[in-house]
Amino acid sequence: MPLYRDPRSDMLVTQFSMKYAEAAGLVKFDFLGLKTLTVIERALRLLARRGKAPDWDRLPYDDKPTYAMLSRGEAVGVFQLESSGMRDVLRRLKPDTIEDIIAIVALYRPGPMDNIPKFINCKHGLEKPDYLHPWLEPVLRETYGVIVYQEQVMQIAQILAGYSLGEADLLRRAMGKKIKAEMDAQRERFVQGALAKGVDAAKAEYIFDLVAKFAGYGFNKSHAAAYAIVAYQTAWLKANHPVEFLAASMSLDLSNTDKLNVFRQECARLGIGLRQPDINRSEVEFSVEDDGGKGAIRYALAAVKNVGAAAMAGLVHQRETGGRFASLADFAGRLDPQLVNKRQLENLARAGAFDALDANRHRVFAGIEMVLRHAGAAAQDRGSNQASLFGAALAPAAELHLPDLPDWPAMERLRQEYDAIGFYLSAHPLDAYGRSLAQLGVRRYAELARVAGGGRATSLRIAGTVLGRQERTSARGNRFAFVQASDPSGMFEVTVFSDVLAQARQLLEPGKGLIFTVEAKVENEQLRLTVQGVQAIEDVAEQAAAGVRIFLREAAPLGGIRGVLERTPKGRGLVELVLALDDRREEVEMQLPGAFAITPAVRAALKGVPGVVDLHDL
């Protein structure tokens, strides 16, 4: 066989393609690289750090929490089982054995999918299995009479028509290729073999046709079993050790913002804390921290946009060898400015990674050039010539003068965090509207698939912060748009057709908070949202806000509260003051005259007045 040697590699390559290499007598092997195996390895490593490593070689395949989780369709992150369609199948199937998972891995493909309803009905006793012939029950019992695997095709030929193993494999190949001459020859062989064993000719013809139909897309059980075992292992980890499993899964998708956001939502659903990046606590990848309970996940430094894993590895190494950073001045004094740039540090500041050293993100962001100059001066003082992120010798931390600026307002702080991370991590802009949206009957995105799952279009309201907009022109020349938005439960996309787009285009800008009236419908397992109307969230929420109750311990904040309300437009929201007296043993409550437009910005300004203890919605 002619070979080729790539000058950039030691590996020989055949000049024949796979098909001709086999014809020349070579055996072809497929070696698959699965990142899921790395997820498992990292999850086990995280468990070992916490003294919880399981005996992986003796993993039980009858774990009830694992099957209960899969039966609820909670398979986000589970190998082979996490698509929305597969999760729906799991909810209907309610698997309780590894054989169920093997079968569903084989069936969930075009063609075999048609047999899933029968498989499920037979499993739950709603339909009686058809084994085609009494001799075939031992072969088809496991799959409730449904021919799922290529191995079953071969066994049927052996049992019913007296095929040898070699002949049965030739039959399997012929049925897969569907070459008419080969199929005609195999039909003759099958029927004659069945007749010789006393099977009726018509019955043999019927079974051959049925087997041929299934064999065309039959799956190799050994392959399905190998995949199902890995699927079960990831499901077991998620059911029994979700914190370590999700941390490992997120580390394998460091640069995939959409996937990280899916895992963030899964953490929220499971009640797992996902803590913001921290220069003194975060590792390069996602890590697990004890919180006195199930544990929490610490956000990875390398998952912040545009910072680079190599630079972050150097930072973590310096922290581990030289101790935690005591201040921003200490950080700057140990930093090698040659291998970290302004943009990297700015994104860390926007993401909140320096909050433990200085909680004013705006001041830190604006002072990054000062940090770099300080780092440069410290590096010169050390005479550093090293090719590492930080110099080895630690100079005494000199004073660092950052700009004297107020922190970003809450909404701007979240917008900066979104730009640095790719989604809202510490909070969501819509959180401030929570009570108002509930009063207005606005749905969360995560609820929509369930609400609209009946097959008919459903009209409802959903709120979202606009992330982006793409306009298109239809075949008829009309403009329409796809708008990406998010709410606290996830990211979604809505379609805006020409009539609504013409009226609402000025509202559909990134960063805007909107309430969409949509027609929701599930088609081909995909949720489709078509916009019927758009409103600015401030306008709608202002009408729904009943007002606020402000808690005080002294009269000093009254001037600040008055200043905020004097700048606030009139509306329908009331303001009540609650003043604690005599060491909080008594309270005085009073309602201020007038009514105001209590927007989230006004609410945040009132809560930010020095001396205000707390603020509640009425």
Which of the residue ranges 117-126, 375-384, 390-399, 477-486 would you say has the lowest mean pLDDT? Answer: 390-399
Q: Tell me the backbone φ, ψ of residue 181, rounded to 5 degrees.
A: -60, -45
> In whole angstroms, what is the distance from residue 530 CA to residue 458 CA?
10
Query: Which of the four pLDDT bands, split at 50, 70 and 90, describes residue 544?
Result: low
> In whole angstroms, what is the distance from residue 552 CA to residue 529 CA?
45
Residue-wise pLDDT tens digits, 211-257: 887 776 778 899 999 999 999 999 999 999 999 999 999 999 999 98
What 3-state class would DSSP assign to 147?
Answer: coil
Residue 290: predicted pLDDT: 86
Residue 587: predicted pLDDT: 80
> In whole angstroms, what is the distance from residue 225 CA to residue 148 CA?
12
Residue-wise pLDDT tens digits, 548-586: 889 888 888 898 899 889 888 888 888 999 888 766 567
Residue-wise pLDDT tens digits, 349-402: 999 999 999 999 999 999 999 999 988 888 787 764 554 555 544 444 557 889
Q: What is the mean pLDDT of residues 517-546?
A: 82
> Is the confidence at residue 99, as pLDDT, over 90?
yes
Residue 319: predicted pLDDT: 92
On average, the pLDDT of the chain sits at 88
Residue 507: predicted pLDDT: 92
**Which tokens belong to 570?**
């009139």
Are 71 and 94 in contact, with CB atoms under 8 Å apart?
A: yes
Query: Which of the four pLDDT bands, split at 50, 70 and 90, describes residue 511?
Result: confident
* Own/partner pairs, 603-606, CB within 8 angstroms, 24+ separation: 603/432, 603/548, 604/409, 604/410, 604/411, 604/432, 605/564, 606/548, 606/550, 606/561, 606/564
**Residue-range domains of the chain with CATH:** 1-31 (no CATH), 45-222 (no CATH), 242-410 (no CATH), 429-536 (2.40.50.140), 545-617 (no CATH)
Residue-wise pLDDT tens digits, 406-462: 888 877 888 899 999 998 898 888 887 777 788 888 998 888 877 776 667 788 999
Residue 525: predicted pLDDT: 67
Query: In terms of DSSP bridges, do strands 586-591 and 479-487 run parallel, antiparallel, or are they unpaired?
Result: unpaired
Per DSSP, the chain holds a count of helices (H) and strands (E) of 26, 15
Q: What is the mean pLDDT of residues 71-84?
A: 92
Residue 280: predicted pLDDT: 96
